[in-house]
Structures are given as C-alpha cells and as structure tokens.
Amino acid sequence: MLNRFCDVYRDGGNRYGHRMSGEHDGQRPSGTAVATDSAVAAVPQQANSRMTEFMLSVGEGKILQFKKKPQITAVAELVWNALDANATQVDVQLQRAPGDAIEQIVVTDNGHGMTPDRARESFHRYGETWKASKTHTEGATRILHGRNGEGRLFAFALGDQLTWDSAALVDDALVGVRASGNADHATIWQVVETEADREEPGTTVRIRVPQGKSLRYLEHEDAAANLTAKLAFYLRAYPDVCVTYDGKRLDPAEIIVGEPVDIPLVLPEEDSDDCPPAVVTFVEWNRRMSDRKMLICNADGIALYEEGKDWSDSIVSFTPYLRSDRFNGLTVEDLHMLPMTHAALLDAAAKAVREHLALRGAQISAAVVRQLKNEGIYPYKGGPTTGTEAIERQTFDVVVTVAREALPTKGMARRLSVDLIRTALESNPGDLHDILEKVLALSLDDRRHLKNLLHSTDLAHVISAATEVTNRLDVIGGLRKILADDALRREFREVDQLHPMIAQNLWLFGDDWAWARTEVGLTNVLHAHLDELGDDVVLENRLEEVLQPDGRRGRVDILMFRSRRDEDSTERLVIELKRPTVEVGKKELDQIKGYARAIVDNPQYKGVEGCKWRFYLITYDYSDKILRDIRQKDKPAGLLDDQDEYEVWVKSWAEIFDTAEKKLLFFQRQLNYEATDARVTQHLRESYSRFIPEGLAEDQGPDTPVAS
C-alpha cells in the first residue's frame, strides 16, 4: 500500500540506483585543460582559469544510445536529480515556438544546488556520482533515488544542447556554476564557475530541442499522468514536495483508484529467499495511459527502469510495479539484461499481473452489470436460453464495461444508450462502432482497445476450447494406449509417471477439479489415518521419500487430495491410485470405506455443514467378486458407499476414460477430430515427455485410431 511506503520513506529506507543529469556545449576554448575520466586527481588548469573541460573515455556511441530512451523517463530523471538535491519545488516547463512546437525544456528546482567542486565531481566521469555510497539526501532529509551517475545522459532523448545553471552556498555565500554538453561532441563536458544568477540555492536545466524533433510523448494528454505514475510512491511519501509539469501539479491522489494491491509472487526455491520478498504492486488509474510498461523498482517502489512491452487492457488502466531490493545498484546495462539474469522473477511477475488483471476485469464488469440491474435497465432477463444468447450477453457485458465512463449518468439518455448497444449486438453488430463513436463519444483509444478485444474474444474462446478438447482427447487416447499394452503397462511407473500425469488432468474426475488445490491442513489429517490403507500407500506430497535401495522411486499406491470451496460449501476429493498389478477385491473395499469414515469422523471435520467428501479408488482391474458391492440397484455404477457427508467410488481406468470421453463427444463431432495413434503419441511426447515409458519414444506404426 502507498501509505505504508510513505512511512518507509519518512523513517529511512534502502539504497537505490540513481542517475545524474548533465549537458554539453561543444566547442573547447583554447588554453583549457582537458582531463579524461581516468584522471581522478586535481585537474590541471591554466592560472586563473574558471573553466574545466572533461573528455569522457567511454566513447560517443555509449553516450548517444541514451537518445533512444523514453521521453517521459528522461524527464523523470531530471526531476529525480532535483529531488535528490532536497528540492521541494520542481517545475518542468515546455517552452514552445510560435508554431507551437517545443523548442526548449526547462527544469527548475529549489534544491541545494551544485558547488563548482560538486559539479566537477559529478560530471567528470561516466557512471559515477556522489550518491553512490549514500542512501539519503544531504541532512538525511529524504531517501535518494539513484547512484549510477548516468541520469544526465537521459537528457539526450529530449534535445541536443544541455545546460545546468546552479547556485549553492559555500561559506554562507552563494556561488554559481554552469555545466554543459552537446550531442555533436558527446564525450566533452564543460564546467564553468559563474556569478550566481539567483537569490536562493537551486538549479535550472535547459535542453534545446532541435528543429523538427518530435516530442509527442511529452505533449500527449496522458504525459502528466505517466510522469505521476513514475513518481507516485515518492510524492505520496513526501506531501511537502511539489512537482509541476507544463503548468500542472502532479498529484497521485487525482488518478489512483482505491488502494494499490501487493501481489505475492510464486517463485522457484532458489529465487524466493529475498527479504523483503519481491512483490508486484498493482496500481490502478482512473484514466487511460499510453505508457504502461512494468516499472522495475526497489522494495519501496522507486521506479528505476521500464521492462517489456506495454500492458494493454480495455477495462483496467494500471501500472505494475515489480519491487525488489535485488535491483538496487544495477546499471542501465544490468537492467537491460533482466530477461536473462532474472527470467524466473519476471515470468512470475507477469503471471501475477495477468491473474490479477483478469480478476479486476471480472470484478469491474460484475459491478457494472449489477448497477444496471439495480437501475432496471439491464436488457436481459433471467439466464441465457441459447448458446448464441450467452455469447451475445457476454459481449454486451464487455462492451458496456469498457464504455461505462462514456455512458450518460442518469435518465432516459442512459437507458437509450444501453438499449442501443444491445440492439446493435442483436441485429447489426456493424453499427456498434458508430454508436460508441457518435452517440457515446468513446475515445479513439478506448474504441481501438475494444475493437481489438471483440475481434479476438470469440475466436480466442473457440480456439482455446477446441485446443482444450483435442488435448483432453489426446490425453485419454495416450493413457489408453499405455495401459492397453502389456509391455508399456509394466514399464509405466506410478510415482513419477502416472501420478504427475493424472495430477495435471484432474478434469478426468470432473471439470471443476481442474482448478482445485491441495489443502495444507488436510495433509496431516490424511496422514494420521493412512494406516487404514496399508503400508504401501503414500501421500502424493511425500512421494520423494519412497525410494528403493538402488535409489529409484518405489512402486506404491498413491493418495491424491484436492479441495475447492465457495461461499456456501466445501468439496474435498481424495483419490487412491492403485498399481496396475493390484486386482482390487474385498480387502481393498473394506480399507477404503474404513479410511473414508475415519477421515469424515475426525474431530476437525465431524459435523461440519456444507462439506462433501468424494473418495475414489482407481484401479486397472477389479475382481468379479466385488461387482455386487459396486453395482447396486438404483445407484450409479461404481458407487460403493453413499452417505450424506461423503461418497466412496471404485472405478477402473477404462470407466474413467469412457465417462470423460462421453462428455467430449459432442465437441469431438463438431471438430471432426479423431484421436489417432500417431496424434496421441505425439501429444504425449510434446506435453508429457518426462512421464511416459521409454517405449513410446520409438517410431510408431500407421496413423490408426486408438482403440476404446
């Protein structure tokens, strides 16, 4: 939360990566001494000379690469420099020529300024700054932003001639200094002692914009909001700081929706020992922004770098902040390498953002629909009666959610707008664009986002559904192939092959179980009663303990367990996977029934309302002697014990596969898809290569259908 970050800023925090800003002027006066950045000692000068000129040995190519940096980021760097100088007032002016083109950018602050010595120290080397060994500004007033000594170079993204005029107190007297640079001589920087041109300490940065250079990102309507997003945590932490951009004060409170959300990341063990742990802070805005990359930050939210492509969503406008102290002190080159050096962290952050974004989109859409229903103007009654109506209603919900800010707020105009959207979708979807543009005046950006969304939604759903169906058919066909072949079945290991394949395909027991998860508290309860099932049964999360003397994993019966719940009920699924060599008989039936009753009667679960247990005993084959037990009159096949709080089922793999295939039969016919031998084998090789017998790695015969 931003408020928590504010407290961290005021009380002290971690170190940050920072960048200084600088400028260049070009011509080298005769008689002026030149020092390369390999010289650290006093710079030789002529007597009474007030100018020092530095030539950086890093090379022009290295410096001029900063011309490609994002323009708003370059402005942010100039502001950060002012804030690191303890400025409380920072003003960014876009000075325009008579033709309205920006000809100069001026950044003025009231910070402590630069003395001539500080200016020479700051500008004489690439990548070095007085801030490198510090965590706070002078006087420990505020936390420093940077320490990389590269920020001055970002100004090349804005113009070709850069000048810093600064005044600072030296022995209670105000002294002036000018530092400058020029893109035509990017390695040369000049520092000149001057008379102070102001009555108080501070710095003015002037950037000359060459004629014809486009700075459209600085003039875009969301430029101030984008800059605010980069400074949001800092500005909330220090409310006495005022930053203005092109005449407008930057205020995060004006654009933040609600409270930011910290999303924890699921990381591999080797990347999960950060303290504090890395998180993505999801900040939602009340207006659309064009600059929406993930911001790489230290743990306290200071933005150091932009990573990846723009995040685009038609419903939610947001910025993700990836916060971790592991980014402290990284150079620009280091940050460029993040996809290689911190791939797991970036992937986890992107996944967390996608999941939260889907959740927020659904929440916003549900709220919009709920409001329309409360107003009595939602155009649909009851549930959808056809598949077409369901798609139309889903599309309407998306459109009205995207257009929610453009809808009239009340009265007949609001009702008419809602009806127009519904009518267009029902009779002529081609009219929808005109309605959104001419009637609701939806912005071009919003219409573009919505068009892309509607263009891809149905097709994406169809493709996703078709892929899911064919993948499921291939899984069933592949498992049938393995279990039907004596050699493959003997080679097929339960612990590290069959079990993980089933764990990834719990839809075999019902679609809802595909999203279920293990339950921590359930583990100990199940383990306490495991003796009921015999010595060879192991909980799935303890399989690594089952090793034979030669180090290979042993053949055991595996107990899987999952839990799912909603507001009104809880369901728990417990599956005992029997080895193909075990023929289930009376003994196994008594064991699973006794185990089920022991679990349900455990004090932790006994008498809990709304809790339903399902116990499955899955086997390759079972004895004819138990058919009467699992084929009871007026009971579904396989139901062994049916009680109010639990059910016990006994199923063969053939029955499981047959039931799952029947559910997919309609889609299979529509797709005209046949799970042939070659197809299912290829799918197993591509998706489950670690879990299939080695025999399947060999070339297969003709492309024939898989036997049911």
Cis? peptide before 29, omega within 30° of 0 = no
Q: Which residues contact 240 (CB under 8 A, 6 or more apart)?
A: 88
**Residue 422 CA: distances (Å) to CA of 210, 370, 418, 431:** 51, 16, 6, 11
Q: Which of 355, 360, 639, 656 is nearest to 513 (CA)?
A: 656
Question: pLDDT tens digit string along 120-161?
Answer: 877 766 555 555 445 465 665 676 665 555 667 888 889 999
**What sign for the dihedral angle of Cα 474, 476, 480, 483?**
positive
Half-sphere exposure of 647 (CA within 13 A, CB side): 15
For 260-318, write each residue's pLDDT tens digit: 999 999 888 777 777 788 999 999 988 877 657 888 888 777 777 788 887 878 788 89
What mean pLDDT is predicted for residues 576-599? 86
Per-residue pLDDT tens digits for 21-34: 333 333 343 334 44
- The alpha carbon dihedral of 367, 369, 372, 373 has a sign of negative
Locate tokens 């170079």: which residue?
A: 153
Quote the pLDDT of residue 175.
92
Q: Percentage of residues in the chain with pLDDT exceeding 90? A: 19
Cβ pair 651, 616 in contact under 8 A? yes
CA 433, CA 437: separation in Å to the nearest integer? 6
pLDDT digits (tens, 9 = 90+) for 412-444: 878 877 887 787 766 555 556 666 665 566 666
CB 32 within 8 A of CB 344: no
Backbone angles phi, psi at 697, to 5 degrees: -75, -15
Interatomic CA distance for residues 280 and 298, integer angstroms: 11
| Number of other residues whose CB lies within 10 A of the CB of residue 638 | 20
Using alpha carbons, select from 256, 40, 244, 14 the residue that is nearest to residue 145. 14
473, exposed or middle or buried, with CB in 10 Å at 0-12, 13-18, 19+? buried
Which token pair is 1?
């939360």
- Asked if 165 contacts 194 with a C-beta cutoff of 8 angstroms, the reply is yes
Which has the closest alpha carbon to 627: 615, 643, 639?
639
Whether residue 48 is predicted with pLDDT greater than 70 in this model: the reply is no
pLDDT value for 248: 92
DSSP structural state of residue 702: S
pLDDT in tens, 546-576: 444 455 454 557 777 778 777 677 888 888 8
| Bridge partner list, 284 | 318
User: How many whole angstroms separate alpha carbon 48 and alpha carbon 118?
Assistant: 19
In this prediction the pTM is: 0.49
The strand ranges marked E within 195-278 are 202-208, 242-245, 248-249, 261-264
